[in-house]
Structure 1
Amino acid sequence: MPPQSEPVASTALTPERILEATEEVLRRYGPNKATVVDVARALGVSHGSVYRHFASKAALREAVTKRWLDRTANQLESIVTADAPAPERLRDWLAGLFAAKRRKAGDDPELFATYSALIERLGGGSGLESVVNRHLADLTGQLTRIIESGIRQGTLAAPDPAAAAEAVFSATARFHDPVYAPEWSHPDIEASFTALVDLLLRGLRP
């Protein structure tokens, strides 16, 4: 009787497969103990094979962090381009960001804690810091596009859409910054979120 699945190493090694394995290793061991050797072992290959795709442990961590962060931005893009009034899209985008962060924290707490720990170590112009900064720029860029479209529609008003986007993003940090994750399960968190978004939208009315 043929085996139900092939060994991991029997299929072509790709960056995507390496990143998937890296997530599992980080989930299992955490950022302090996980090594490239652990990733290679999970894939059934030598660590040299992993290094052919990612030059260093730091490069691998940057790539897997970017992959994790990009999932959120990609999910939110459909809200930015939706055929709906800008105020509605702005509310939906903020709600979507909050929901995505809560899913990550609730559905995969080990990996969420791992990435939060990695991000807390930012500093010194590291590659990981650049990855996070690009992610934040992607998110505020999406907000800027929504506000710009609202200005064109006459449903939103702001002298500087990019500055308004930065302000909205900062004002809602409680609902997307991982440091606030312990608060996301509080019974009154939804009411607090709605009250804040209502206030922001009133401030952006023409």
Structure 2
Amino acid sequence: MAATETLTAERILEATEEVLRRYGPAKATVVDVARVLGVSHGSVYRHFRTKAALREAVTERWLERTIVALEPYVEAPGSADERLTGWLTALFALKRRKAGGDPELMATFQVLIGENSAVVHRHEDHLVEQIARIVEDGHREGVFAAPERDYATTARAVFDATDRFHDPAHAADWSTTDIEDAFAAVISLTQRALRA
């Protein structure tokens, strides 16, 4: 890092991702992050009080990218059923890209996700809230039936029903020859269940 470049939390998180990708979660240290940045490890600790806090922040940053990438499907014009299909398809594509495009980083984040279950629960809550907004729009449009309980419960059911296509525990299935057909069948079933 150039001496004139300001050390920010964002820059530290970028460096931490690089270190995690290179060494993995078991071997990566705050000293390694500081070395990449050209600063003392004390400088890193001024932004993140503990190694656990740094790992939690990098996990949250990684998961936040998914939420941001899916937001356009929530806000887009068009019918709610098409937006929901687009949202679910985009989520599946994002997860497949992460699993296939950078398997080392995906494996690293699987470890970090296991350590930071509160971060994961918040992430899932954000995703479910996005689905709920689409389902609520669909009800207002007359495309989806009124929920049995509430929009959040219905959204959670949709999220859970499509688990095979976004939970990294199923990543090995995502490259099988029949996965696209299985995904289409679940989407079709979900849409039929939601219809008014």
Q: Give the alignment's TM-score, normalised by structure 1.
A: 0.92
Partners of 1:145 and 1:74 lie apart in 2 by 15
Q: Secondary structure at the match of 1:45?
A: coil
TM-fit CA distance, 1:8: 4.1
1:149–1:103 distance in 2 versus 1, CA, 3 Å: same
Match of 1:138 in 2: 126
Per-residue Cα deviation, 1:61-107 (whole angstroms, up to 9, x for no partner) = 11100000000000000100000100001100000100000111111
User: Number of paired residues?
Assistant: 194
Partners of 1:131 and 1:203 lie apart in 2 by 30
Instruction: Answer yes or no: is 1:38 the counterpart of 2:32.
Output: yes
Alignment of 1:88-107 (within 5 A): 88-107=82-101
From 160, 178, 184, the counterpart of 2:168? 178
Instruction: Answer yes or no: is 1:21 the counterpart of 2:15.
Output: yes
Alignment of 1:1-206 (within 5 A): 7-121=1-115, 128-157=116-145, 158-159=147-148, 160-206=150-196
Asked whether the equivalents of residues 9 and 43 of structure 1 are also in contact (C-alpha less than 8 Å), the reply is no
TM-fit CA distance, 1:9: 4.5
Pairwise CA RMSD: 1.0
TM-fit CA distance, 1:131: 1.3
Runs of 4+ in 1 over 3 A off after TM superposition: 7-10
Per-residue Cα deviation, 1:109-159 (whole angstroms, up to 9, x for no partner) = 1111101122234xxxxxx22211110100000000000000000001123
Partners of 2:2 and 2:90 lie apart in 1 by 35
Residue identity in the other structure for 2:129: G
Asked whether the equivalents of residues 79 and 138 of structure 2 are also in contact (C-alpha less than 8 Å), the reply is yes
Unaligned runs of 5+ in 1: 1-6, 122-127
Residue identity in the other structure for 2:66: T
Asked whether the equivalents of residues 59 and 113 of structure 2 are also in contact (C-alpha less than 8 Å), the reply is no
Asked whether the equivalents of residues 21 and 105 of structure 2 are also in contact (C-alpha less than 8 Å), the reply is yes
Partners of 1:71 and 1:65 lie apart in 2 by 10
Q: Secondary structure at the match of 1:32?
A: coil
Asked whether the equivalents of residues 86 and 146 of structure 1 are also in contact (C-alpha less than 8 Å), the reply is yes
Partners of 1:164 and 1:179 lie apart in 2 by 23
Residue identity in the other structure for 1:189: I
Partners of 1:25 and 1:104 lie apart in 2 by 17
Match of 1:3 in 2: none
Q: Secondary structure at the match of 2:11?
A: helix
